[in-house]
Amino acid sequence: MRLPRPTLLVVLALSSVLALAACTSAPAVTPTPSAGATSDNVQISARGIRFEQASVDVPAGKTFKIDFDNKDPGTPHDIVIHSGDANGPEVFKGEVFNGAMVKTYEVPALAAGTYTFVCSIHPGPMVGSMTAK
Ligand SMILES: [Cu+2]
């Protein structure tokens, strides 16, 4: 006995949806709305236990990425962002890693305002200001 034509179409549509779901469920990458916009990444680098940028501007109200270039071989650094000054609430903490190496941090959306970024390993000499606008 043959299936009525509309039923056959539904079965075909369902099976292609399932096939698509099976193909796309594997990657564990978090989807981002602005995928591939690497040129928009904020650039911060560290050399000689100092940040090379005294201040950086970042976009307010949306997630953004920081390319952190640790240029100190064998020396661990990270970037921690505090609201206001360095004693303010921590709003982001990046992974600590040894140089020389570049890692990209994904930072959650920050409200417009002023922030301070520090290295948690060397908070004295490694400090900079960040403006979200
Ligand atoms: Cu450091």
Say how many Å lie between the CA of residue 13 and the centre of ligand 1. 55
Cβ atoms of residues 128 and 53 within 8 Å: yes
Q: 106: Cβ–Cβ under 8 A, 6 or more apart, which residues?
A: 30, 32, 63, 65
CATH number of 41-132: 2.60.40.420
**Global pTM?**
0.71
Most distant CA pair in the chain: distance in Å?
80
Say how many Å lie between the CA of residue 2 and the centre of ligand 1. 71
The domains of the chain are located at 41-132
pLDDT for residue 122 is more than 60: yes
How large is the average pLDDT for residues 21-39?
A: 49
What is the per-residue pLDDT across 71-80, written as a single tens digit (0 to 9) for each? 999 999 999 9
- What ranges make up the beta strands (E) of the chain? 42-46, 55-58, 64-70, 76-77, 80-83, 90-93, 97-98, 101-107, 113-118, 127-132
Q: What does the mean pLDDT of the chain come to?
A: 83
Distances (CA, A) of 15 to 22, 72, 133: 11, 54, 47
DSSP code for 36: T
Say how many Å lie between the CA of residue 33 and the centre of ligand 1. 31
